[in-house]
Structure 1
Amino acid sequence: MNIKGSIALVTGASSGIGEATAHRLAMAGYKVYGTSRRGAQAGQRPFQMLALDVTSDESVDAVVRELMRLEGRIDLLVNNAGFGVAPAGAEESSIEQAKAIFETNFFGLVRMTRAVLPHMRRQGSGRIINIGSVLGFLPMPYGALYAATKHAVEGYSESLDHELRTRGIRVSVIEPAYTKTQFDANFLPPDAMLDEYREVRALLDDVLKDVMASADEPTVVADAVLQAAIAVRPKLRYTAGSLANRLRLLRRFAPAGVLDAGIRKDLRLDIPTVSPPLVHSGKQS
């Protein structure tokens, strides 16, 4: 893509991956508009912030209309807005909470895509880059809902890319692993907690703290976004960071049993967290 004069829109750009991505694109020469629920905030940024709620059709339409009024085109959409639920059993989230995470992480992305596509089609060009995760191709025990949203992003993105490439529009997914952001600090607690999962929740909180100590910086993801944005022949998937790349290779080439055992070992899932039941001899008193 020709960067000079190109207009980029990055959702969830107030912090973390979104902020790093918007900054990286601006430094590369894009004119960048970032979004967050609160819009402009204090601080020096090389990009303008707009208020956006990706769960609202009206908010999404208003932001895209405003961007078209200001610039008359949109060349790059980076769908980054999202949230997670703290480690918990899948049954510890109500149906309402399950709907809420899909409303932001998946349907928010769909809303944004639908809003910008008519303009990209008229231009005959555009890039849509969706921030996915290695959890789009791997399971996440005790993070099933978040993993489900990222699996949905993978399927939607690959299908959409087939639909749009003959119109000059390409779609890519960025797949980071653990990344040092405030994402985990903003986890929603499960809203239907069960005592049966109390000990494993505490265990996984400790595991998460350990792995985040060596996690990638958000700039690693931002660099992958820029690579996808400017590639002459963009790939569908870009892993971000060495761990993400290793996991992609393991998913592709390792036997299923080896991968399964590795996931359980890394998450310490086979460490007993409760006392084993008493074993009865079968004798009756």
Structure 2
Amino acid sequence: MNKMKPQVALVTGASSGIGEATAARLAQAGYKVYGTSRRGAQIRNQAFEMLALDVTRDESVEAAVSELMRREGGIHLLVNNAGFGVAPAGAEESSIEQARAIFETNFFGLVRMTRAVVPHMRQQGHGRIVNIGSVLGFLPMPYGALYAATKHAVAGYSESLDHELRTRGIRVSVVEPAYTKTPFDANFMEPDAKLDAYHEARSGVARRVNEVMATAEQPGVVAETVLEAASAARPKLRYAAGKLAKRLRLLRRFAPASMVDAGLRKDLRLDMPAAAPTRTARAF
């Protein structure tokens, strides 16, 4: 008997962290997996192939998807994972150019990938899109406003898109992890307009994030959730990835807003007395 041809999956940002773990787990589950990175170099995990792709460039996205279609003739699963964050910073400590840069990758990159892949999924009459969001897509993150804004955008876009594509055999889900042990923070963009007025609070939030990261879950937890979303007969729109993410989802859904607000501020120690304001604030 002839074996069924495996389903084809494309995972962006697969050179490390959540993307690499997800690509490896999908390959283990029987998918024919293509990962992407800007360089496209093969990595130590040979369970999947790598393609060069920069999600911020239209021509790069089109070239990578065209190459995948040339090789495989179809695509069944798109995992939009590529993204980066800004180191803890007040919202006014990043320039407009920096804000555009993070949206260009985290949100518009996802839109580019979706627009390139959906026509092929429509033609074949089925497909799955799994977008890597964050608990910050439904919770605020003081001193992480830009990253939280991109993940809120991902959540809203995904929910609308799922309604549009559902009758065409395509489903869209968002996987929302909390803190995850990855090299993600090594690629943080430092805020480009730091102000003395935020130094103390910014430093405190950074320390707290480092404390929590010490006990964060491994990227394999997120990879398992992606596989669940990709293979579910009746997929949900949102999947919380990991114990902390699930607790936060329940709190956001059922706890009074004032309680969530107070708990967040207490955890990040935001209500400590602030230093007296100076006459001018300077970047450093």
TM range (shorter): over 0.9
Asked if the contact 1:125–1:168 (Cα under 8 Å) also holds between the matched residues in 2, the reply is yes
State the partner residue of 2:62: 61
TM-score by length of 2: 0.95
State the partner residue of 1:225: 226
Deviation at 1:251, TM superposition (A): 0.5
Aligned mates of 2:219, 2:269 — CA distance in 1:
26
Aligned mates of 2:34, 2:167 — CA distance in 1:
27
Deviation at 1:203, TM superposition (A): 1.1
Aligned mates of 2:253, 2:5 — CA distance in 1:
38
Question: For residues 150-202 of structure 1, what are the alpha-carbon distances to aligned partners after superposition, in whole Å with 9 as ceiling and x for unaligned?
Answer: 00000000000000000000000001000000111211100111111111221
State the partner residue of 1:70: 71
Aligned mates of 1:88, 1:241 — CA distance in 2:
26
State the partner residue of 2:184: 183
Name the SS of the counterpart of 2:183 in structure 1: coil
Aligned mates of 1:245, 1:101 — CA distance in 2:
26
Deviation at 1:40, TM superposition (A): 1.5
State the partner residue of 1:281: none
Asked if the contact 2:42–2:49 (Cα under 8 Å) also holds between the matched residues in 1, the reply is no
Aligned mates of 2:197, 2:108 — CA distance in 1:
32
State the partner residue of 2:281: none
Deviation at 1:204, TM superposition (A): 1.5
State the partner residue of 1:280: none
Aligned mates of 2:44, 2:178 — CA distance in 1:
28
State the partner residue of 2:161: 160
Asked if the contact 1:40–1:48 (Cα under 8 Å) also holds between the matched residues in 2, the reply is no
Matched, 1:195 2:206: no
**1:199-218 superposed matches below 5 A:** 199-218=200-219
Aligned mates of 1:213, 1:127 — CA distance in 2:
33
State the partner residue of 1:38: 39
Asked if the contact 2:80–2:113 (Cα under 8 Å) also holds between the matched residues in 1, the reply is yes
Deviation at 1:243, TM superposition (A): 0.6
Q: Name the CA shift for 1:73/1:210 in 2 (closer, same or farther; >3 Å).
A: same
The structure having more radius of gyration, on CA atoms, is 1
State the partner residue of 1:235: 236
Asked if the contact 2:161–2:172 (Cα under 8 Å) also holds between the matched residues in 1, the reply is yes
Name the SS of the counterpart of 2:82 in structure 1: coil
Asked if the contact 2:53–2:61 (Cα under 8 Å) also holds between the matched residues in 1, the reply is yes
Aligned length: 275
Matched, 1:123 2:124: yes
Asked if the contact 1:39–1:52 (Cα under 8 Å) also holds between the matched residues in 2, the reply is yes
Deviation at 1:273, TM superposition (A): 4.8
Asked if the contact 1:133–1:174 (Cα under 8 Å) also holds between the matched residues in 2, the reply is yes
TM-score by length of 1: 0.94
Mean Cα deviation higher: 207-216 or 35-44: 35-44
Asked if the contact 1:4–1:29 (Cα under 8 Å) also holds between the matched residues in 2, the reply is no
Deviation at 1:271, TM superposition (A): 2.1
State the partner residue of 1:267: 268
Deviation at 1:16, TM superposition (A): 0.3
State the partner residue of 1:137: 138
Q: Which runs of 5+ in 2 are unaligned?
A: 279-284
Aligned mates of 2:266, 2:5 — CA distance in 1:
48
Name the SS of the counterpart of 2:261 in structure 1: helix
Aligned mates of 2:31, 2:208 — CA distance in 1:
38
Aligned-partner residue type, residue 10 of structure 2:
L
Aligned mates of 2:218, 2:89 — CA distance in 1:
25
Deviation at 1:205, TM superposition (A): 1.6
Asked if the contact 1:18–1:81 (Cα under 8 Å) also holds between the matched residues in 2, the reply is yes
Asked if the contact 1:55–1:103 (Cα under 8 Å) also holds between the matched residues in 2, the reply is yes
Q: Name the CA shift for 1:273/1:170 in 2 (closer, same or farther; >3 Å).
A: same
Question: For residues 116-141 of structure 1, what are the alpha-carbon distances to aligned partners after superposition, in whole Å with 9 as ceiling and x for unaligned?
Answer: 01100000000000000000000000
Deviation at 1:274, TM superposition (A): 2.4
Aligned-partner residue type, residue 186 of structure 1:
N
Aligned mates of 1:222, 1:180 — CA distance in 2:
13
Aligned mates of 1:262, 1:98 — CA distance in 2:
28
State the partner residue of 2:109: 108
State the partner residue of 2:8: 7
